Amino acid sequence: MELHLKGRTVLVTGASKGIALGADSPSYGVRVVGVNPGPIATERIIKLARGWAQKELGNADRYKEMLQKYPFGRAGEVDEVASAVVFLASDRSSYTSGTIVTIDGGWANRPAG
């Protein structure tokens, strides 16, 4: 678990630590928020997609076609997650605590199968 401190805001990255820590933290003047990103267009995801494209389509350069399986037909952008983290750490989100924000384009809520 990593803790990123900004003033009295604690951003927790990892599992469900946000809920457990956030329940009691307001009494100490601290907010706890977890961020759970889904597939984000990092070098790792692009490398994986290129591998899938090579295997399934015979051409690694067609990797964007593999990303069309994700919500909105693409992986999320790093800036989309970063913008949410900046908001959650700001005074504009000062009543947010004890929650985990999932940023995955709805991926976690897709139907099974």
The CATH number of residue 77's host domain is 3.40.50.720
CA 30/CA 50 separation, integer angstroms: 42
Q: How far is CA 59 from the centre of its chain?
A: 29
Phi then psi for residue 35, to 5 deg, are -120, 125
pLDDT at 99 (0 to 100): 87
Instruction: Determine the 3-state secondary structure of 8 from DSSP.
Output: coil
Instruction: Please say whether the beta carbons of 7 and 72 come within 8 A.
Output: no
Mean pLDDT calculated for residue range 41-67:
96
| Average pLDDT value for residue range 19-44 | 83
pLDDT(10) > 70: no
Q: Write out the E strands in the chain.
A: 2-6, 9-13, 31-37, 99-103
Structural domains counted in the chain: 1
**What is the rounded average pLDDT for all residues in the chain?**
84
What is the rounded CA–CA span in Å between residue 10 and residue 73?
33
Domain that holds residue 24: 2-109
Taking the complete model, does pTM exceed 0.85, yes or no? no
Distance CA(67)–CA(90), nearest Å, equals 32
The whole-number pLDDT of residue 92 equals: 96
**pLDDT at residue 101 above 50?**
yes
